A and B are shown apart, each in its own frame.
Chain A
């Protein structure tokens, strides 16, 4: 019944929301200023250079191959975990999702230390596919689980074979989820810095970093960033459209009843082989490599003080980023979910702008902003937190918005009719109800901030070393025995929460939703 309702966002919510939007627009603003600093002609010259075109071709090729590979692996993974009668499928799904937790630069170094010859295109393809296929697998598995199994029974009763049902009925219905997942993968590949840098495969992010580090041509870095952002924007737009369509599949509207899973010997053998390969390549190689690095460590003593320092720095940065991000995202999320208007959706969209900005681009633009605008903060903690906040703001806003929309607006109306004012309702009802979702968003932000590389590399305060930058520092000089302790710590710190979150999601999907509505 929201049709035609005119709503005004209350001022105590509107002011911080506008502030959040302004903060979110900083990178785009500084990027544009810097790119056009030498005039529009220079922009065209830079773009129409043959080396720029080389870069475009290389980036596009990598993106296309990784996306295709991720779609295949992710769809197979989803099929194995939802449709084949294997014991312990829930555990399997969690294992399949775990590569999400391993930062791409870490698994890239893991592969190189094992097979130095892989450096280059194919190495990048392997590492990025392992990092990305969960983005396809998770939504496709959810869509497969959400499909009404009676549809398939009906099709079978009308004379279709199992294979025909799969290709003609099931696949078309999960295709929107595959598309949405694939676009997400493409976006990830375009913005990834760690894997291509470790594999020394020159794509946009790596070259932008180089141009920035070289220092003599900041506007080239900004111009290349603009090209990258344009490509990312296209992907973001396509992705949000595809996601809308994916939502039309009845995901989450209940458990498929009486689903019979294929237990034919061929399917089971195929599933086991597929599972072992996915786990072996995605999880096995990085884990075994890291452990073998630790084994080399015996030759010299571990610098425990340094490791402890890196852990503390990572935690502190992660915690501050999480707190700051949630505080900035909260008013936007509330306004966007409960006070829908042109104003609130404009504010929300502004915070999504950084979603199209690769981490390295945000980092560079925050450096510019720091030099021009926030000089006292330059190379200090607040600027790093700002950079990280900009990266994770879109995720946090979306998560908060979703968790608020989980609860019915009627509950807040009940609160208002009982005499609670706007802010009191937010404090006493909206936020407490959304707390699990807000907490999850905070935890996820902290986790991602701890393993984030490019922004930390560029913006960390002098003398600070996090787990991520330590791994980077030693790996780039192939000192893997020194990397061991940092890598293992980071893996544990990020893998455990990822496993918990994934298994919770799996459990929630297989349980009847919204408890307590019926007697």
Chain B
């Protein structure tokens, strides 16, 4: 098990380096590159720009610049926001909780609903329910998240007036129920795609387990259908879902960005879009790199968890 984990850890480190290379390349694509903070402001002469470029070390060869940039990244110096001069990591940190709350609540919803839809679809394979769930999932995966958000706002906020159309809380009223009511629509909208994904994977995972010998053994022992399902089928079918949760992280983060935009949710995605509008390159690059690191960590964590939970890996 330790060998497997060390292997995965080393692999993640290699991917992290490659991620940083891609990030550095993207950074240099920015109009003006790292110098844009100065070159965008009017009244800067070329001589002044050259001087600043030399000061910032931008006249050095690219590989040297890259190493310098990556080193500072590892050391926690991610630069300062063009907008308010605060350190990038601090700015991101301020918006992270809102995003994590949204991602967490919607993952909870999608795992519970998607998981059950998948299990029921598998044990009632080719039934009307299974068929509808399959088509429903395909359609859900084909609808843009933001469009579903717009329709949800139109129906539940504008027409019915049941739920707020945006923001995280009402100014002046920051009670728990106020937070909760603001959380409902974005959570459901973000969950839709993930319910579809989880139900598909849970269905095939359950189908794999149902055919296993230990399930037949459990049935032969005379356990009730429910006990077989709960203790033997679902528990084992959930194992691959841990890896899936890790793999789904980029999709979830991307979905959160779009959802936050529609619902003016003050999270990282909203910050990202605002920063794009202000050409705030350090924050843009910060969020891009931060989300990639988050994804790598998530995948590593998922592998670790599987190794701990799965006896087959634990023993070998």
* Chains A and B belong together in one complex: no
User: What residues of chain A have their CB less than 8 Å away from a CB belonging to chain B?
Assistant: none
